[in-house]
Amino acid sequence: MQNFLHLVALLAALFAVAAAGRFLARLLRLPSVIGEIALSVLLGPVLLHAFGPAVFAAVLPADVMGLLRHVGEAGLVLFLVGIVHQLDHGVNGLRGKAVGRITLGAFALPLLTGLVFAAWVLWLAPAEVRGTADAGALVLMLAVAMSVTAVPVLARIVEERRAELGRSADLSMMASMLIDTPAWLLLAVALGLAAGGLGGVWVALAAIAAGGMLAFLGFRLLGRLDVRASTYRGSSRGCSGWWRSWPATGCTRWG
């Protein structure tokens, strides 16, 4: 119970910090999400410097931080689901060739710059820059870091400035979703390489496959439920009075 109250207090404090960052961003005519992120990132170092490690550990204990991380991850997943749902039902008229060209250009160029940066780290930079990182994991990590688009941040900017962006808002969101899908898959492979070489890669690929299978099964299940609900609604329109409370089969059978 104490950890729960601590978590609620931290969430309230974070909401207040985000509101302050949003206010400052609007004063500077920046997207609100920029101020929210900037002020939230600065919060930790400021607390640590101003009050010391003891107070910092008391405000943000490890067990509560774990709960806070889970809440953040759940919120991120729900936010991304909402974005995909909006794109699936609210984007019309986007040409496939236009989306493909923008996606390819926006993904390939940063990916190449990441590969060049990785080559510099491996062959030209001082040894301490690379440290003990696995070469394959390092190359993939830097390439992905340069090419990923941060869909939640872009979604907030697009939502706030949709009137100014016009059709390019939907185009940029669609391209960013298509970019981040392979980018996060590559990130999983990079983490697998860093964790255990090829064995870690197989674990990452197995996790991706399991997640894809669950997503596919969920999609099919929800699709069937939606079809049944639509059939029931369509059939019930032909019924009157107390027949509307009966299944759609009763309406079709008895008229």
pLDDT category of residue 241 using cuts at 50, 70 and 90: very low
Give the Cα separation of 177 and 107 in Å (integer): 11
Q: Are 207 and 191 in contact (CB under 8 A)?
A: no
Nearest C-alpha neighbor of 106 from the set 68, 152, 151: 151
Q: Enter the pTM of the model.
A: 0.71
Which residues lie below 8 Å from residue 154, measured CB to CB, with a gap of 6+? 172, 173, 176
Give the Cα separation of 63 and 47 in Å (integer): 18
Residue with tokens 């390092």: 138
pLDDT category of residue 119 using cuts at 50, 70 and 90: very high
Give the Cα separation of 215 and 212 in Å (integer): 5
Mean pLDDT, the chain, whole residue set: 81
Q: Where are the domains of the chain?
A: 1-85, 91-255
pLDDT mean over 94-122: 87
